[in-house]
Amino acid sequence: MHFNLISRLYLQIFLSTRWAILLNLHAEMFRTNTVEDILQVLIVFCVESLELDFALLFPERHTLLRVLPVLVVLATSSEKESESLYKRVKINRLLNVFKNDPVIPAFPDLHLSPAAILKELSSYFQNFSSQTRLLALQAPHEIQGRELQEYPRHYLILNHMGTIRADHDDFSIRFASAMDQMIRLKSSDGVYNDWSRDIKGNMYDIVVEGFQLLSRWTGRIWEQCAWKFSRPISDSQQNSMTCFDYEKVVRYNYTAEERRALLELIGYIKSIGLMMQHCDTLVSEALWETIHMEVQDFVQDKLDTMLRTTFRKKKDLSRILSDMRTLSADWMASTSKADPEQHSLHQETEEMRQNTFYPRPVAPTAAQIHCLQFLICELVSGGNLRKVGGLFGNSGSGIPVEDLKQLETFFYKLSFFLHILDYTATIGTLTDLGFLWFREFYLESSRVIQFPIECSLPWMLVGHVIESEDAGLLESILIPFDLYNDSAQHALTSLKQRFLYDEIEAEADLCFDLLAQKLNEIIFTYYKSCAASTLLDSSFTYACDDGDKYFVKPLRFDAIFKLRRVMVLGRTIDLRSIITQRMNKIFRENIDFLLERFENGDLCGVVELQQLLDILELTHQSISRFLELDSYSLMLSEMQENLSLVSYSSRISSQIWSEMQTDFLPNFILCNTTQRFVRSAKGTHHSSHRSSASTGKPYFYCGSHDLTMAYQGLAGLYRDFFGVPHMFAVVKLLGSRSLPAIIRALLDHISSKITGLLPKINALQEALPKSIGLLSFDGGIAEYGLAAISSFGCQKIVHEILTWEAKSEVKTEVLHDLKEIGSALYWMSILDIVLRGLVDLKELS
């Protein structure tokens, strides 16, 4: 605890003093007399490397860009010869370098600006404050006018995708061709000749070009992120939304086109890197042999020529060349060649001039390469750090231009050799895109534990693929998960922070679960829309003016269905199995939703249920061609609770019989003209209490919104009556297993109704007059007249009417029961017609 407090105290002291390290360095380094020359040499090297693009990897270029402003400040802050820098490097060259790269990537979520560095350091170094042209540079947030339009063209990947696609296709073809030649060379007798040397040399050139491509592409992603961090969206673009600073630079700062371009470029980087990684063992021997040949050709042939011509009388320089040969020459048969100084040009024979060597797959070590670079620098500089014209300038060196050019070319080749020899690590560095996940600076500045997953750039790319529903992008939907792999690897190996890995793992798990869910929804929706479009009545489509909207745009999921081994944070996941499991769950949920929806409606909804189940069955057939789904009949029986062999009831049959008892038979009447049952306009005898139907997910209906509306419109034509189409649906849904149970229950219902009618009819018979005869001729008017209301005939009629009206409720029940019996009988007659029609259809087929 005490140690932690002390550490935090020192950290606060360090952070509270800006540029403390640089100020201490400045105070110490200028105690050396030649420090100005060293700084100028470093500045010249940085400028030349940036102008001539000698940096093979993008981290090297970014390092040069980050260190150059600091070197310029230190070099111009010297009290003596501060202006001598501009004699060796014109200030316009510095200005062009800083203007070409106004934003420099520093860390995954931080950027630097040369202009901002120079302006801030001017207050610490008084001598530098007089450099007005350098201090006039604009920081990224200060850029206005035409330059504000030009810089996005440079930094945004979207503006370079045409060139990137062409480079990717061209390199892929040439790399595959070079690999084919290497395989043919391996299968040959292995004799070394000009043909094999050309093939291996071409393979070396292709690998170097691949590294340059990967470096350029990954560097573009770094630079685009740095530009986005330096140019967050303004408050006017937020539409009055309250959001974190990280959302301003990431979530709302990328357009849909920019996300697509970024995803496409990530796919190119990963595919090229994977292609080069897979052939590691095949090309390694060719690379080592080519590097060996390059080094030996230089040290045995070119240096030999230089020793006999240019440096013959320069003992000090000849000694350096001899050291270079002694250090790296690979003499055949382990015999050192005689020192060329001991031979005159007249005594050498033609055989001695021809240094024949046989390349071997034995590359120089990193120590040898660094020593060769040091000796070349010592050779061309001659110990004079003040030489004008750069490291390989011709001023005062005494070395001919041709020899100097050869030394320069070999010097920069040596820096390439280091990366090529470390083949696997170089590819890993160039394809590492884990920086796209890190946001620790913004977490600290926002004072939150973690941002919502919608703010994560990897998930933003996945979400873009899902939202766009682009067939070309669906196959790239798993590419963003490589970003989680890269960031987790960086957190464990480079940063050595377990808590960062835990955060990455938690987010990756959540994203993969969401991806699996979204993928299932997309696949299910697509195939259900295809099924609904197939089953939609063609006459309906032709009658619509906009019938094209009912056709489904084709999508391809073949690549996704074949993914059995997906690597996420070191774990192998069978995505196909996960999709299959979730798809079975979706089918069961869909069946349950349709049954529940039917249970909350009346019997007229049986046509819609049958249509939706037909669509679902065709969807199951389509997906079953690619995935091993459970049987549709098994899932339907399971959701209907009809799995037992001795059970003849199901949710559908129970609902149909319940609706017939509680709603259909009591409340529907037969229209003899149309031969349909319609709901009675008068008050219902029995009321059916139903709960409100739950609103399901959109893909539980017909897939797309347009198809759902079309089917709902068609189903609405059958909602107000019950007829032959409904009976066809009932027969198809119930089948031969549950239909006899409905008929048996209906017959029992008729029997119970008849049994219940007997006492009611007897009661009505008792209420009827014992005899009904004609009124007497002479007493008819008097009996019913108002003037003779107390007569005997009138009293008799009134008594009979009152006795009959006392049984009016019984009379209504009797009539209603008779109607139900008649409706049941006619319902069975419609059933008989439908069954006969189905039998005839089977016979015809």
Mean pLDDT of all residues in the chain?
82
228 band by pLDDT with thresholds 50, 70 and 90: very high
Whether residue 752 sits in one domain with residue 712: no
Q: Are 253 and 234 in contact (CB under 8 A)?
A: no
pLDDT (tens digit, 9 = 90+) per residue, 8-26? 555 555 555 677 788 888 8
Q: Is residue 430 part of a domain?
A: no
Whether residue 759 sits in one domain with residue 814: yes
In the chain, % of residues over pLDDT 70 = 83
Q: What pLDDT score was predicted for residue 226?
A: 93
Handedness of CA 626, 628, 630, 631 (dihedral sign): positive
Give the residue, 771 or 108, on which the prediction is more confident.
Answer: 108
Whether residue 754 sits in one domain with residue 650: no
User: In 3D, which of 528, 524, 522 has the Cα closest to residue 473?
Assistant: 522
Comparing 110-114, 260-264, 342-346, 736-740, which segment has the lowest mean pLDDT? 342-346
343 band by pLDDT with thresholds 50, 70 and 90: very low
What average pLDDT does the segment 612-626 reach?
A: 94
631 band by pLDDT with thresholds 50, 70 and 90: very high
Q: What pLDDT score was predicted for residue 553?
A: 84
Q: What pLDDT score was predicted for residue 612?
A: 93
Cα(179)–Cα(818) distance, integer angstroms: 89
What average pLDDT does the segment 172-191 reach?
A: 86
Comparing 112-116, 206-210, 781-785, which segment has the lowest mean pLDDT? 781-785
Whether residue 769 sits in one domain with residue 635: no
Q: What pLDDT score was predicted for residue 736?
A: 81
Q: Is residue 507 part of a domain?
A: no
Q: What pLDDT score was predicted for residue 543?
A: 78
What average pLDDT does the segment 105-131 reach?
A: 86
pLDDT (tens digit, 9 = 90+) per residue, 405-416? 888 888 888 888
Residue 781 predicted with pLDDT over 60: no
What average pLDDT does the segment 441-446 reach?
A: 86
Q: Is residue 317 part of a domain?
A: no
Whether residue 96 sits in one domain with residue 26: yes
Whether residue 706 sits in one domain with residue 823: no
Whether residue 630 sits in one domain with residue 564: yes
What average pLDDT does the segment 632-659 reach?
A: 83
What average pLDDT does the segment 417-428 reach?
A: 92
Q: Is residue 157 part of a domain?
A: no
Residue for token pair 């690590």: 425
State the burial class of residue 181 (Cβ atoms within 10 Å of its Cβ: 0-12, 13-18, 19+): middle
Domain that holds residue 838: 748-844
What average pLDDT does the segment 718-745 reach?
A: 89
103 band by pLDDT with thresholds 50, 70 and 90: very high
Whether residue 711 sits in one domain with residue 583: yes
What average pLDDT does the segment 805-833 reach?
A: 82
Helix/strand/coil (H/E/C) assignment for every residue in 259-325: HHHHHHHHHHHHHHHHHHHHCHHHHHHHHHHHHHHHHHHHHHHHHHHHHHCCCCCCHHHHHHHHHHH
Q: Is residue 422 part of a domain?
A: no
Q: What pLDDT score was predicted for residue 158?
A: 93
Q: Is residue 708 part of a domain?
A: yes
Cα(719)–Cα(608) distance, integer angstroms: 9
254 band by pLDDT with thresholds 50, 70 and 90: very high
What average pLDDT does the segment 317-345 reach?
A: 65
Coil/strand/helix, residue 703: coil
Q: Which of 143, 159, 185 is the last residue of a domain?
A: 143
377 band by pLDDT with thresholds 50, 70 and 90: confident
Cα(527)–Cα(533) distance, integer angstroms: 10
Cα(538)–Cα(714) distance, integer angstroms: 13
Task: Choose from 4-18, 331-345, 734-748 the range with maximum mean pLDDT.
Answer: 734-748
646 band by pLDDT with thresholds 50, 70 and 90: low
345 band by pLDDT with thresholds 50, 70 and 90: very low
Give the residue, 273 or 147, on which the prediction is more confident.
Answer: 273
Q: What pLDDT score was predicted for residue 382?
A: 61
Q: Are 329 and 337 in contact (CB under 8 A)?
A: yes
Comparing 98-112, 206-220, 543-557, which segment has the lowest mean pLDDT? 543-557
User: In 3D, which of 455, 464, 554, 546 has the Cα closest to residue 507?
Assistant: 455
Cα(553)–Cα(703) distance, integer angstroms: 13
Q: What pLDDT score was predicted for residue 448?
A: 86
What average pLDDT does the segment 512-529 reach?
A: 93
Residue 795 predicted with pLDDT over 70: no
Cα(305)–Cα(839) distance, integer angstroms: 102
The encoded tokens of residue 139 equal 């920081």
Give the residue, 765 or 130, on which the prediction is more confident.
Answer: 130
Whether residue 572 sits in one domain with residue 623: yes
208 band by pLDDT with thresholds 50, 70 and 90: very high
pLDDT (tens digit, 9 = 90+) per residue, 449-472? 888 888 999 999 999 998 887 777
Helix/strand/coil (H/E/C) assignment for every residue in 446-488: HCCCCCCHHHCHHHHHHHHHHHHCCHHHHCCCCCCHHHHHHHH
Q: What pLDDT score was predicted for residue 532?
A: 92
Residue 236's Cβ-side half-sphere holds a number of Cα atoms within 13 Å equal to 0
487 band by pLDDT with thresholds 50, 70 and 90: very high
User: In 3D, which of 586, 594, 591, 585 has the Cα closest to residue 694?
Assistant: 594
Whether residue 753 sits in one domain with residue 712: no
Q: Which residues contact 649 (CB under 8 A, 6 or more apart)?
A: 642, 738, 741
Whether residue 767 sits in one domain with residue 658: no
Q: Is residue 709 part of a domain?
A: yes
Q: What pLDDT score was predicted for residue 788?
A: 46
pLDDT (tens digit, 9 = 90+) per residue, 496-511? 989 999 999 999 999 9
What average pLDDT does the segment 549-577 reach?
A: 88
Residue for token pair 């060769």: 372
What counts of helices (H) and strands (E) characterise the chain?
A: 37, 7
pLDDT (tens digit, 9 = 90+) per residue, 671-701? 888 889 998 876 555 555 666 666 778 888 9
In the chain, % of residues over pLDDT 90 = 31
Q: What pLDDT score was predicted for residue 689?
A: 60
Q: Which of 706, 722, 738 is the last residue of a domain?
A: 722
Whether residue 804 sits in one domain with residue 709: no
Q: How many domains does the chain have?
A: 3
User: In 3D, which of 512, 493, 479 has the Cα closest to residue 578?
Assistant: 512
Comparing 129-138, 270-279, 708-717, 791-800, which segment has the lowest mean pLDDT? 791-800
Q: What pLDDT score was predicted for residue 800?
A: 56
Q: What pLDDT score was predicted for residue 259?
A: 94
Q: Is residue 92 part of a domain?
A: yes
Q: Are 115 and 138 in contact (CB under 8 A)?
A: yes
Q: Which of 143, 158, 179 is the last residue of a domain?
A: 143
Cα(508)–Cα(504) distance, integer angstroms: 6
Q: Are 764 and 810 in contact (CB under 8 A)?
A: yes
φ, ψ for residue 554, nearest 5 deg: -70, 140
The encoded tokens of residue 229 equal 């961090």
